[in-house]
Amino acid sequence: MNRVRTLIADDSRAFRGALARFLGALPDVELVGAASGGQESVEMAEALRPDLALMDFQMPGMNGLEAMERIRVGMPAIRVIILTVHDSEDLRALCHERGADGFLEKARLTAELPALIRSWAGPPPS
């Protein structure tokens, strides 16, 4: 199985740590970096070229949507999932309208993210 090279971006150190531990237990994920803000996530994406970026919607300075848009300018193949504690239809629609590949409420992340990643990892090489 191809491993999905993943970058996480969240301003909460505790959440980054918990998400890193969760992703570390998934066999089809390789965690390549963890950013504490939007600007840092853009810089890390440029340097690391992940397959997937998991972006907190609300970060100080540059939020997840702004970071996603900057990443997409030079690296359109990177998939971006916006993470948030505030799930609303308006926010979900805004994220999809702006080009996010996915939108997950943080409370449902562990239930929904593994299947989504597996669908992107593809079949094992023959």
pLDDT in tens, 30-89: 999 999 999 999 999 999 999 999 999 999 899 999 999 999 998 999 999 999 998 889
Q: Which residue is associated with the tokens 């609303």?
A: 88
pTM over 0.85: yes
Q: How far apart are CA 106 and CA 64, in angstroms?
A: 14
pLDDT tens string 82-126: 999 988 899 999 999 999 999 999 999 999 999 888 776 655 444
Q: Domain residues of the chain, as ranges? A: 4-121
pLDDT band at 17 (very low <50, low <70, confident <90, very high): very high
* Per-residue pLDDT at 125: 43
- Fold that domain 4-121 belongs to in CATH: Rossmann fold (3.40.50)
